[in-house]
Chains A and B, each alone.
Chain A
Amino acid sequence: MGPIVSAINKGEKRRHLFAAELWARLGRKVIVPWPVLVETDLLLRSRGFPSAAIVLGESMSTGVHRLESPTAADLELALKLGKRYSDSGADLPDLIVMAMAHHRKAQILTWDFRHFSSVVLKRGHHWPLLVSEAEMPVP
């Protein structure tokens, strides 16, 4: 969710420019899980930006990126990981992103490096991240 927030929020300066260019270039190669859209919508509205939340939703509706629902298998894996790593702090949207990436053999775009390194499929596993922590610009 962090990268899409950075793309929306020009207050993040260099990180915003980096994220906006990345999302623009990736276009429909990006799968946006439904829970990520819902959580971003909630965040934008809680910060007093309901019109930005609507534009984001319209962007998904018109196919700027690929909005996809988690399947029953995605939810099953997400809940399994959530049970196994109940103390990690990873929430359902994080866990759904992991499960959807696993089942679709996709890379993950996140700024939440802590949760995505503390929850793994098995010992020695790491999630394939599109942008590493070292590559994420500071604002």
Chain B
Amino acid sequence: MGTIRKTISLPEQIAKRLDWEAKRRNTSVSAIVTELVQQHPAKLPYAGLIDDDEQMSQNIEHFLARVGS
């Protein structure tokens, strides 16, 4: 996956902590931000989008068999 350059604004104390942590770990600020975002369990964009048959995931073949009929 490629990288994109982002400019962000942070409270001074948070920015200092980020710089300090990067120095302590001998890594980049970008690497720490990436790690933090990846650790955070994001809400799934597709979760709960539909309200259908309660056995839908158990009857996939049955539903797919109807496609085109």
Contacts and interface: CB of A to CB of B under 8 A. Distances in A.
A24 B43 contact: yes
At the interface, is chain B mostly helix, strand, loop or mixed? Answer: loop
Contact of A139 (B38, B45, B54, B64): B54
B49 A8 contact: yes
- Consensus secondary structure, chain A interface: helix
A24 B60 contact: no
B45 A55 contact: yes
Nearest to A139: B54
A51 B45 CA distance: 12
Interface residues of A, number: 40
A64 interface: yes
Contacts of B58: 2, 111
A132 interface: no
A111 B61 CA distance: 12
Nearest to A13: B54
Interface stretch (A40-48, A72-80, A123-131): A40-48
A25 interface: yes
B38 A47 contact: no
Contacts of A107: none
Most buried by B among A7, A12, A25, A42: A12
Interface of B: 1, 38, 41-58, 60-61, 63-64, 66-67
Interface of A: 1-3, 5-13, 15-16, 19-20, 23-25, 27-28, 39, 42-44, 46-47, 49, 51-52, 55-56, 58-59, 63-64, 89, 91, 111, 139
